[in-house]
Amino acid sequence: MAQQGAGPQSAAPGGPLKVVGRRGPNIDAIERVTGQAKYTADIELPGMIFARVLRSPHAHARIVTIDTSKAQALGGVLAVVTHRDAPNVLIWGHRQYVLNERVRFVGEAVAAVAAVDAETADRALKLIAVEYETLPFVLDPEVALQPGAPQLFEDGNLEGQPRTVTRGDVEQGLQESDHVIERAYHCPTMWSGSMEPRAVLAQWESDRLTLWCSTQSPFRIHANMVAQFNLPDSHVRIVASYVGGGFGTKSAPHVDETLAALLARKARRPVALRYSREEEILDSNTRFETKMYVRVGVKKDMTLHALDIRAIINQGAYHMRLGGLGNHATHLYNVPHLRTVQHRVHTNIPNTGPTRGVGDPQECFGLDSAMDEIAIEMGWDPMAFRLKNIKRNGDPIPRAAAGAEDGRLIAQALDRCIEAGASRIQWDRRNVTPAAGQAGPKFRGIGMACTERTGGGGLSGASVKVFLDGSVIVFYSSTDIGTGSRTTLSMIAAEVLGVPLSTMRTVAGDTEAAPWDGGSQGNRTLQGTGRAVEAAARDALRQILTTAAPLLSSTPDALELVDGSVRVAAEPARTMTLEQVMQRRGRSVVGDGSIVQGQQGTDVERTTAAHFAEVEVDSETGRVSVLRYVSAHDVGRPINVTIVENQIEGGTIQGLALTRSEEMRFDPRSGRTLNANFLDLMPPTMLDFDARVIEAVIVPNEGQAGPFGGKGLGENPCHPGMACIANAIY
């Protein structure tokens, strides 16, 4: 970890914190619930026109001809674009161009129209004549790997070489084991998107492009626009002030941003492109299907001795860069003989990509299901088996850098999470036989699963501006996607500066106003952006105390800023309000913070959790009811306890949803998605889960990587749900 901008400490260094670690509502809650918050689809510009997208009816086809003349002649149509108008530049990190001459899934964009209103644009789409040469398609990733399977790309359907990680000798380890099981686990393609469909508003002013868009990563969109239109970096501005959820589906560029910009440039008018729910499901990205073949070997002394995982991953037509399992096999348990092999395969289904957890929920399901099955076959308590084999502080653990030697695990609390969760769920009750207190067709079971993850990787930047009246604005370019980051980051700055939270405001998601940041994903907002905000606030504090020193006949090191006043630490009566200091300064203070988070030393910090579930199964109907669910999480030091609990509860519900709905289904005859709507996809509503059965348990465990000892949390809560429920049923 490298940090710039460190300076004076916050008020009462080493003393009690006054803002961080407390409860409180989001500072933008009123704006959100009253409709004052402006999401992308709420923004209107003078002269704005509306776009619609023509989509492929075929799973795999080549466009022979496309005639847009009738659409262009329709009154009210101002622009039409096809693959002939689109840049020959790949979208960030994968094989897709904005518009392709060869389409590879039902729903892929073929053309786009901009007109004076949405109805006219819809009529124009029907006037575009497209002749297709249909091609064979494949939906199953294992079939796609077989000889003679339809090929999506000239180099085949396999994306690169299989990702392989080895330690020791797996075959030897399995032979040495006293007991071995072989299992197969399958997770279908699942949708894990957000309530807000994607929306983009594009405006050109001469050769300068501004996009208002719903994204988790404004600077990734910024870089994509620079590449697509060959623009100077300074000629692109991305604004994403309010975002209605993301869950990874908005963490990377898609086709809609470039389509809106192409139409706006051609029409010479601002263009709004707002996806329908069906378009959002078909053309954002989905949670990829995985087929996992697992072999586990153990010794009679309850030691995990060998682990072999082969995964077939369905990445769809054009994966969104990140595709594969997480790090559970390599980071969760101590095992001397390990091998993981991941085959990333293209098929003719819609794009997959990063969704909350990025492969961790699928891997957790396979790995922790196998842990339960072999423990029970051996007659062991699954919790005791895990406690014997989990990684603990000081154990070797792989580092992020490719080819780097193992590091040393620090600041973990998985053992404490397991113990806390087991206590709350009363784990000992699982040993009660079904005959005791279980009558009729209904039976109860208790299960558990573990998870871990990192956070905060990459470069983050922020700035903190203090005005003459003592009020403060935090500028950062990641976005608040429902995580409460506006509040959390403001609390960090307020704690450093020694000012009340009520004086804070934020400007988020604007690439022209804030320094570069990697965006809101991968557990990185708190540990990355939060560290940058902390550094920026310390830089601002240094400038304020430097200004105040001669006014108080002191030195900066002898001063502190407490409750909005600057005072001499040894003589608190010698004081000035922050506003008085700023008025005497005569100009605002701007503090800058930049940080690179990574595993540059030997110490590796991870975030851990253990989930426990009690379920009731009706053996006649198959209905599974969740009676209790305990989510015990190591969050470091919680910055805002209410937000942390909400994150745990919300992520837990999303993990539970993966056990019972959101499976995307495809017609084997046509490749069409059969349930690209809420009615058939059945994402859970507030009526499907009783939040009262979910108990969020915060395990205090101050970390080292995040500000004030905090740890990233966003990804972890959704990981264990599938494994935890499966184990309870088992």
Phi and psi torsions of 724, nearest 5°: -65, -45
Beta partners for residue 338, in sequence order: 167, 307
Phi and psi torsions of 347, nearest 5°: -135, 175
- CA–CA distances in Å: residue 124 to residues 72, 295, 416, 612, 719: 8, 56, 61, 54, 44
Q: Establish whether 419 is a catalytic residue.
A: no
- Locus of tokens 């199953």: 140
* C-beta of residue 187 within 8 angstroms of C-beta of residue 202: no
Task: Specify the DSSP element, H or E, that contains 13.
Answer: none
Give the other-Cβ count within 10 Å of 7's Cβ: 17
Q: Could you give the CA distance from residue 276 to residue 296 in angstroms, rounded to a whole number?
A: 45
* C-beta of residue 652 within 8 angstroms of C-beta of residue 717: yes
Q: Could you give the CA distance from residue 507 to residue 113 in angstroms, rounded to a whole number?
A: 33
Q: Could you give the CA distance from residue 633 to residue 561 in angstroms, rounded to a whole number?
A: 34
Cα torsion 143, 148, 153, 159 to 10°: value is 40
Give the other-Cβ count within 10 Å of 166's Cβ: 12
Beta partners for residue 446, in sequence order: 614
Cα torsion 372, 378, 380, 385 to 10°: value is -60
Residue 403: CA atoms inside 13 Å, Cβ hemisphere, count?
0
Residues contacting 484, CB < 8 A, separation 6+: 26, 640, 643, 646, 647
Task: State the maximum Cα–Cα separation within the chain, in Å, rounded to a whole number.
Answer: 84
3-state secondary structure at position 725: helix
Task: Specify the DSSP element, H or E, that contains 375.
Answer: helix 360-377
DSSP label of 88: S
Q: Is 409 exposed, middle or buried (0-12, 13-18, 19+ CB in 10 A)?
A: buried
* C-beta of residue 17 within 8 angstroms of C-beta of residue 708: yes
DSSP label of 528: I
Q: Could you give the CA distance from residue 450 to residue 661 in angstroms, rounded to a whole number?
A: 22
Q: Which residues of 516-526 are buried (b: 16+ CB within 10 A; e: fewer)?
A: bbbbbbbbbbb
User: Do the strands 407-410 and 603-605 form a parallel or antiparallel pair, or are they unpaired?
Assistant: parallel
Which strands, in side-by-side order, build the sheet including 589-597?
2-4, 589-597, 458-466, 472-476, 504-508
Residues 196, 495, 662, 715: which is the catalytic one? Answer: 715
Q: Which of 327, 178, 203 is nearest to 265 (CA)?
A: 203
Q: Roughly what angle, to the nearest 10 degrees, separates helices 721-729 and 360-377?
A: 30
Tokens coding 689: 């889960």
Catalytic machinery residues = 715
